[in-house]
Structure 1
Amino acid sequence: MKIRVLGSAAGGGFPQWNCNCHNCHRIRRNEMNGKPRTQSSIAVSTDDRNWLLFNTSPDILTQLHAFPAIQPREGVRDTGIKAILLIDSQIDHTTGLLMLRESRQPLDIYCSDMVKQDLSTGFPTFKMLEDYCTVNHHPVPLDGSSFTIPSIEDLKFYTQSLKSKAPPYSPHRNDPHDGDNIGVIIEQISTGKKVFYAPGLGEIEPHVMDAMQLADCVMVDGTFWTDDEMVTQNISHKRAREIGHLPQSGPGGMIEVLNSLPNTRRILIHINNTNPILDEDSEQRKTLDAAGIEVSYDGMEIDL
């Protein structure tokens, strides 16, 4: 199984276009040891030709241009993207669908019924695409059962509901439902190798911990270092946990959780522009390095 990190940042990317925080200010001026990042998405394949895309960020065109294996190979119009799996209906994970409207085939999109509802109402992307390539929606099960995806050979998937909020534009923003946000277990059938992918994690529920313990690799929420990160930098009055992200530091934080998985490859993804771990010389980054916890970057490839 090969996983390509197309984008590793949280919404807005890094640097964010209108942000002058400590990180964004320095990266623009080449004053920090770090890498710019686009908004989070990964692609998975077992044959380097047929790819399942997880999320479609607003940066999708830039990400695809930087990834030769997924680019056209045959005919006048072609793509290595065989299907798309959406984790949620957030703008930074779905806007890229509009950039794929030139597809010659309907987009095969796997997502929960709640995500489909959001993308048909509050942010009616599916309806907009009806006048272009159209969409084939495939619901994903939330009961722990597995499913496969045609053309994505030797892989099966399990999706599980995570505690989270629907996007601000959702008709049920303040009425959470199962399927607003999901985690995905990706299993290679021939080898039994497993990856757990959850770029948005607000709480480590028992079924989440079970999935992480069974995985050979976890790619999980790396959005914030501290719960009050946005508050102390005068960017927002909201804390990390309020908006559905478990911070890395502190009691019960992501580092503590990941340190309980010493034999698992542990990778943080969906990293906010304010997070000090983006500075590769920071004390926070050294803490992760000492724990053997990796920080994803655009173009990173994982082979299992």
Structure 2
Amino acid sequence: MRIIRYVNEQSLPQLAAVNEEDSVFPLQQTDFIALVDQAKAEGQSILALVQSLTSTSSAISAKLTELNLLVPIEAPEVWAAGVTYERSREARNFEATGGRMDASTFYDKVYDAERPEIFFKSTAARTVGPGDYVMLRSDSEWQVPEPELGLVLDSQGHILGYTIGNDMSCRDIEGENPLYLPQAKMWKRSCSIGPAILLAEAVADPYQFQITSTIYRDGEKVAEGTASTGQLKRKFEELTSFLVRDNELFAGTVLLTGTCIVPPNDFTLADGDQIVMEISNIGILINPVRSAS
């Protein structure tokens, strides 16, 4: 069972549940956390509550593909983990050493260290949803999308569901100096999430998600890659345990878990590109690219 938000006939945000047949059932709750809170108050799981609500209601006539989707949750904060895949470590080493693949860097150390790399990525105001554009940073010449599985968390760090996240990144800025990481990762419209939240209770094995990323330019495919969350070096609970450590977490926080799909080293995004990310059972997140105005 997935949870989405879309613009309804009254031009207002509408929370809804989507079943395996892609039928859309409007919900009365105002947002995903309100749904979570109701399930907790009634002493049942989120999945059980949603199944109960949809069993006594009717699906809308519009198809899922016809809806104007919004971010499935207005996450108060988006955090991200880095160097959680072997491919990510290789890419970071390439950036930091100017292309010397045989050189060892601090990225090798964090890949094997007990403490993972976790950084602050975005806020609700900087995060866009399905169909909305992501923006290129004006002072970077080497920018890429990073498709990642996102964990939707409660205030205790428990995983409520899964979504797709695009961690836009400036490889040249990060490669120039690791202290520039915040500038390489955070600017307006540098993060997108969506199109849905797949409830955690509906997932048998979260390490079997298949991830695909494709970039189009002028209608032509210019980069693509595939991966699986089974390639992760770290477990999700390991990442969340460090995020909540001596930290105040807000319900609905999203933690992006790192990428295993990095475009070729000679590739950079351009104005007008289209980024298409898909994770099995969650959906497809599409975002056009625009240059900074």
Q: TM-score, normalised by structure 2?
A: 0.24
Q: TM-score, normalised by structure 1?
A: 0.23
Higher relative contact order (CA 8 A, sep 6+): 2
